[in-house]
């Protein structure tokens, strides 16, 4: 067995990030001292990134079952939801945070590539992409460098691969200065009888590696993703993978072609931990073993060592278990697409994974000892409420003086990069590739994908307000689920299921872990309320930076990716006011509340307050009533009230067609709170005169409060006789803020 001449098992284990007790467990599983290659295997498979060892206990408490769920969380590479007509939607979100911090272009590009492979590995054709991005101080040159690289990486890979970007979000906060968050989501459509499982079965069946050759990029990438960023992290550039979207496009077509055959047993993407992960997870799931011959693996560099081949995270590769005797059919398909397709091993009885190099056994381990749900460690960390939480709950908004010039406030907010248009970003993405994106020219709160051959569509969104989560992790994460559902409903869809990307600090920090536990509790109660099971996702800990000896965690950011089903395309609802004379109505109950709003944080510089007012039961009730009136054809436009408050909502509803609004607000309490506060469970709708009476009847029957605010008319936003300016002038500020920042 090949290993360094000065090899010390205990020291090597420590270097690889294995705890002393974990090293002892490895020895116990093997019944002997592990060699260098075996320690390399265990270190990546037991890393946080692969094993979820510090989160799995809490993840298991999330609701995962539902009548439409075809693949529960953890069962396959992605979630799978039945959408009728013999079709299913596969979807998932994952992070590529640390690689993007070091090399933003390739980090983001390979994040897009990896999440798309998770989708088509299941036999589904990717049809839409979304992303959730977080960056630091918008005035920082590093932030601008990271933003440029990440956006170009996403755009270049997605545009070349040929999948439209249908939605996303971008936020800035100093906590992300050194550690940006890059969360990529992909959705795909598959015929239910053509789905492929990530499983290995049948002793004697051959094992193939397909796609690109294996190189030295991404080695120990999973371990790299399971540690803090520091001043020396730039030295870890080899841990960042390199993507090739054109190769992935070929791999997509070849994979979907073999899905149409009966040649294969199972298939899995090679993402984190490469060959090590795919061989161990597929074998553990099928309760079998494998013999793998590493010298047969096509490589980019000569004389690659066994651990380098095993741990490489080179992109655009799959592991395929083929039915014995059907090899030629698979070889023919991959030859047609000019891709590697090489038999590198065989399925064996028992549970042993054995790796050979030049006919010599270089590593051996029981498959189930390596994986989540098997022998991988499971911990429940201590957690402690941080001191800031009590201070946040004690916040009293009466100390905040109401401004006399509301026009000045509005101009400030719509020109702030957290609220302003993200056109600088989205213009670099191809949202029109293909013919299925239905929301580019008809903007809605969620991205809309047409399901070809049916009258249905998929609505999809990504949402999280990290400031809310910081203020109150449980309530804040429940709000993230609620906002995602609200965006789906406003677009005409019924929420179906979620995926999540949980971005937090160091799990060994009791305060960071308290935020994580609170977020899980909030997500759980909200998903139960909306009947949106959790289909899987990603946990990304260690999102903090150690700079000059000081540890700086990011804001806790549990990103929620949600899909919903639009049963009839006639139900698709835009956020845009398309004509004058429409009645403008606020659905839901206003609360006199400016807590954790962008108005409070950015304009008044109050960084710490409680989370906005939120009642989950009222939110569910409001959304149910709203969906019913949308499906009844009563609503001309709908847009939720979120970042920037009601004023921003009105502006975003007017900019598509340049039609203004005149609104009169008579509510008690602070006018600045009504205009710029972010209390939850509110939606602006536009209703035709001839549908107004029926709308009122339905709302009263559902006991959902609403407020008649005004009409669409003119070319300005007028509120209580204050003219905030023409739509064109306001839009100029709103649409160019990010461009000015990046110029």
Pairing of strands 550-553, 447-450: unpaired
Helices (H), 655-691: 671-676
Residue 357 backbone class (left: φ over 0; alpha: ψ -120 to 50; beta: rest):
beta
Question: What's the residue count for the chain?
Answer: 743
Sole residue written with tokens 């692969």: 50
- The verdict on whether 49 is a catalytic residue reads yes
- The gap from C-alpha 340 to its chain's centroid, in whole angstroms, comes to 31
- The verdict on whether 96 is a catalytic residue reads yes
**Beta carbons within 10 angstroms of residue 153's beta carbon:** 26
Distance separating alpha carbons of residues 39 and 112, to the nearest angstrom: 30
DSSP state letter for 121 = T
Distance separating alpha carbons of residues 160 and 164, to the nearest angstrom: 10
Set 49, 590, 604, 639: catalytic member: 49
Pairing of strands 637-640, 683-687: antiparallel
The CA dihedral of 329, 332, 337, 341, to the nearest 10 degrees, is: 80
CB-based burial, 444-454: b 16+ in 10 Å, e otherwise: bbbbbbbbeee
Helices (H), 354-491: 387-393, 406-414, 423-426, 466-471, 473-490
Helices (H), 179-286: 221-224, 245-259, 274-286
Pairing of strands 706-712, 583-587: antiparallel
Distance separating alpha carbons of residues 658 and 655, to the nearest angstrom: 5
Of 199, 290, 220, 216, nearest to 41 by C-alpha is 220
- The gap from C-alpha 332 to its chain's centroid, in whole angstroms, comes to 36
CA distances from 467 to 405, 419, 479, 596, 602 (A): 26, 14, 11, 6, 12
β-sheet bridge partners, residue 683 = 587, 640
* Active-site amino acid positions: 49, 96
């Amino acid at each position: 067995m090949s290993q360094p001449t000065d090899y010390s098992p205990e020291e090597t284990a420590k270097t690889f990030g294995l705890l002393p007790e974990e090293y002892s467990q490895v020895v116990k599983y093997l019944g002997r001292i592990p060699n260098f290659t075996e320690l390399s295997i265990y270190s990546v498979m037991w890393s946080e990134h692969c094993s979820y060892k510090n989160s799995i206990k809490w993840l298991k408490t999330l609701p995962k079952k539902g009548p439409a769920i075809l693949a529960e969380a953890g069962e396959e590479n992605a979630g799978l939801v039945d959408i009728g007509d013999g079709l299913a939607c596969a979807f998932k979100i994952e992070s590529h945070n640390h690689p993007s911090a070091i090399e933003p272009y390739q980090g983001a590009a390979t994040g897009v590539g990896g999440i798309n492979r998770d989708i088509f590995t299941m036999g589904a054709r990717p049809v839409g992409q979304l992303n959730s991005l977080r960056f630091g101080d918008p005035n920082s040159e590093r932030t601008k460098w990271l933003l440029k690289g990440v956006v170009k990486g996403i755009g270049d890979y997605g545009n070349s691969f040929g999948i439209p970007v249908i939605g996303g979000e971008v936020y800035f906060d100093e906590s992300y200065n050194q550690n940006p968050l890059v969360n990529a989501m992909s959705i795909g459509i598959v015929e239910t009888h053509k789905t492929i499982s990530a499983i290995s079965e049948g002793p004697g069946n051959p094992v193939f590696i397909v796609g690109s050759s294996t190189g030295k990029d991404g080695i120990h990438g999973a371990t790299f993703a399971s540690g803090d960023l520091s001043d020396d992290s730039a030295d870890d550039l080899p841990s960042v993978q390199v993507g090739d979207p054109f190769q992935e496009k070929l791999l997509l077509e070849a994979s979907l072609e073999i899905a149409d055959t009966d040649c294969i047993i199972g298939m899995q993407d090679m993402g984190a931990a490469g060959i090590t992960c795919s061989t161990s997870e597929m074998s553990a799931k099928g309760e079998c073993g494998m013999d793998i011959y590493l010298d047969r693996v096509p490589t980019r560099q000569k004389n690659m060592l066994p651990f380098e081949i095993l741990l490489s995270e080179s992109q655009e590769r799959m592991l395929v278990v083929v039915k014995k005797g059907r090899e030629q059919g698979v070889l023919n398909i991959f030859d047609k697409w000019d891709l590697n397709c090489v038999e590198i091993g065989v399925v064996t009885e028992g549970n042993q994974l054995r790796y050979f190099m030049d006919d010599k056994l270089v590593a051996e381990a029981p498959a189930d000892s390596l994986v989540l749900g098997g022998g991988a460690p499971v911990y429940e960390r201590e957690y402690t409420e941080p001191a800031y939480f009590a201070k946040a709950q004690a916040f009293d908004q009466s100390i905040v003086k109401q401004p006399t010039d509301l026009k000045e406030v509005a101009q400030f907010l719509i020109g702030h990069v957290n609220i302003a248009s993200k056109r600088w970003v989205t213009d670099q993405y191809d949202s029109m590739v293909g013919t299925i994106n239905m929301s580019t020219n008809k903007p809605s709160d969620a991205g809309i994908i047409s399901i070809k051959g049916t009258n249905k569509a998929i609505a999809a969104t990504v949402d999280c307000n990290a400031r809310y989560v910081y203020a109150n992790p449980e309530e804040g994460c429940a709000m993230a689920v609620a906002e995602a559902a609200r965006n789906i409903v406003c677009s005409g869809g019924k929420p179906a299921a979620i995926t999540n990307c949980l971005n937090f600090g160091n799990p060994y920090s009791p305060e960071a872990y308290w935020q994580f536990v609170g977020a899980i509790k909030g997500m759980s109660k909200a998903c139960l309320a909306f009947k949106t099971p959790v289909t899987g996702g990603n946990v990304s800990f260690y999102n903090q930076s150690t700079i000059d000896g000081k540890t700086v965690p990011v804001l806790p950011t549990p990103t929620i990716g949600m899909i919903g089903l639009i049963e009839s395309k006639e139900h698709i609802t835009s956020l845009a006011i398309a004509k004058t004379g429409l009645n403008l109505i606020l659905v839901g109950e206003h609360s006199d509340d400016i807590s954790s709003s962008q108005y409070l944080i950015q304009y008044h510089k109050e960084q710490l307050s409680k989370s906005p007012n939120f009642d989950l039961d009222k939110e569910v009730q409001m959304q149910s009533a709203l969906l019913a009136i949308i499906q009844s054809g009563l609503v001309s436009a709908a847009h939720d009230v979120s970042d920037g408050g009601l004023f921003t909502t009105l502006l975003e509803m007017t900019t598509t067609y340049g039609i203004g609004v005149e609104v009169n607000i008579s509510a008690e309490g602070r006018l600045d709170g009504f205009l710029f506060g972010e209390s939850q469970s509110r939606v602006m709708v536009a209703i035709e005169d001839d549908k107004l009476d029926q709308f009122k009847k339905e709302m009263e029957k559902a006991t959902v409060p609403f407020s008649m605010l005004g009409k669409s008319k003119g070319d300005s936003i007028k509120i209580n006789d204050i003219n905030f300016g023409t739509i064109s002038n306001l839009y100029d500020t709103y649409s160019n803020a990010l461009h000015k920042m990046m110029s």
